[in-house]
Structures are given as C-alpha cells and as structure tokens.
A = this chain, B = another copy of it.
Amino acid sequence: MEILKESSSTTQNQTSVQSAQGAPERTQPSAEAPGKLACSSCKLRDVCMPVGLNPEELNRLDQLVSTRKKVKKGHALFRAGDAFNAFYAIRLGTFKSRVHGGDGKDQVTGFQMAGEILGLEGISMDKHACDAVALEDSEVCVIDYQHFQTLANVFPSLQKHFHRVMSREIVRDRNMMMLLGSMNAEQRLAAFLLNLVQRQQARGFSGQEMMLRMTREEIGNYLGLKLETVSRTLSKLQEEALIQVEQRHIKILNSTALRVLIGTPE
C-alpha cells in the first residue's frame, strides 16, 4: 500500500543553493562532499548506471560520480542550448524532458524517474537539445562526459554499458513513436500507466498503484492529447473498472485488460 514515499520527504530541509527569487526555473550546482554516497552503496545500484559492472569498474565509477546537484520543483536541470559537458543520473525525484517547437509549441518527450539517465541528447551538438525540468524536488548525480570517457576507454564493459543506455533511449523513443502514430486515447493512457507502474515496480515500489507527478496537461502533451481528453479518458477507464482514479493517485485494477487494450497481452 505504500507507494512512492521515496521522495519529497528527504528533500524537505535541504541546503541546496537556490538561485535568487527573481530567476525561477534554474538552479545552481550544489556540490557536496565527494563520495559521501557512492554508486556502489546506492539503493539504485540495480536500475541505474552501475548495472552489470564488476567490482573494479564500479569502484572507478564511484570516483567519477562525486558531484551531486539538487533541483527544486519546477526548475530546470538544463535547458535546450546549454553547453553539454555532463549527463545526469537521477538520484531522487522525477523530471520531464521537453523539446521546443518552431512556434510556441513545446512537446514533452519523456518523464524520467530515479535511476534513469538525462542529457544524452546533448552529445550530438555539444549542447542540450531539450529542457529537463524537475516535477518535484529532485537530486541528480553529475557525470562528467569527458572524464567518463577517459575511464570508459580503459574499461570496455563500461563503454558498452554506456552504449546500451543510449541505445535503450532510442528503442524507447521508437516505441513512443508507435504509440503516437497508431493508438487512440484509451490505448495511449493504458500504455502510459502500465509503463509507469512497471518502472516503479522495477524500483521496488508497488506494481498496482502510483502517484502521478505530472499534471493532466503534461500527460496530454506527452501523449499527443489535450488535457480534457486525458481527464475524460481516465474517467472512462475508471468506469470500465480498469483503474481507480483519485486525483493523481492511480490504482491499477485490471492490468490484464489494460494490456489487452493495447495489444500486448503477454
């Protein structure tokens, strides 16, 4: 019954350096004592960057990931156009990524949770191609790209792992394209919710219920729907007894039926 108590609580009385009131949506880097919490002892060890590394590689990774950064709710970890020189592993919290369209239209391209990697799109142009905005008070591990690469060139399996992470990103995006290209509103929401619980379950939380960290509008933007459609469709799924909606608290009542809906009953 306990879901997602992981966040918000431990980040309350933090000491992060906040930018001035007048400059919202941007945080200053707040380096902490290095090695205070290494990858090797991190709770997210099994879902984050270290997966599949042997003890020595893990040890090397520890040395690398010495900087952390807190990002307050609504603030950006980085923005499109910012120079790229590091990527980030989410330690705590949730982010959204968004790209900027020609006119005012932005598009949310993903929601990232603890253990997931941010910023890899920046390698392409040596500057970030999207914004990464915290949906709640969050904290990330900063991994310097240059530094990481000198290490990865010596430890091939680390390099391989890095490639895997990037490749997984591509696969994820391709699946998203399929969702956007061929599913109706009900299927999109079903796929979205199933994906979220599944990722939370992989992190040791409930596979039945969750607390959404994003607004209906952000969900809609992500799924290519209007916020009203999101709301309506959630209501519909509830009427069909597939889920239970209580504000942002969602309970999966019939995951089998949800999977049938999107054509992935496996």
Which A residues fall within an 8 A CB radius of B?
97, 99, 101-103, 105, 107, 109, 120-125, 129-130, 149-150, 152-154, 156, 159-160, 163-164, 166-171, 173-178, 180-182, 221-224, 262-266
Contact = CB atoms under 8 A, between A and B. Distances in A.
20 contacts: A99-B175, A102-B262, A102-B264, A103-B263, A107-B178, A107-B181, A120-B170, A122-B167, A123-B164, A124-B170, A129-B171, A149-B156, A152-B153, A153-B156, A169-B170, A170-B173, A173-B176, A180-B181, A181-B223, A182-B221
B180 A105 contact: no
A170 B101 contact: no
Nearest to A170: B121
Q: How many copies does the complex hold?
A: 2
A217 B174 CA distance: 19
Contacts of A124: 164, 167-168, 170-171
A154 B152 CA distance: 11
A180 B263 contact: no
A25 B115 CA distance: 40
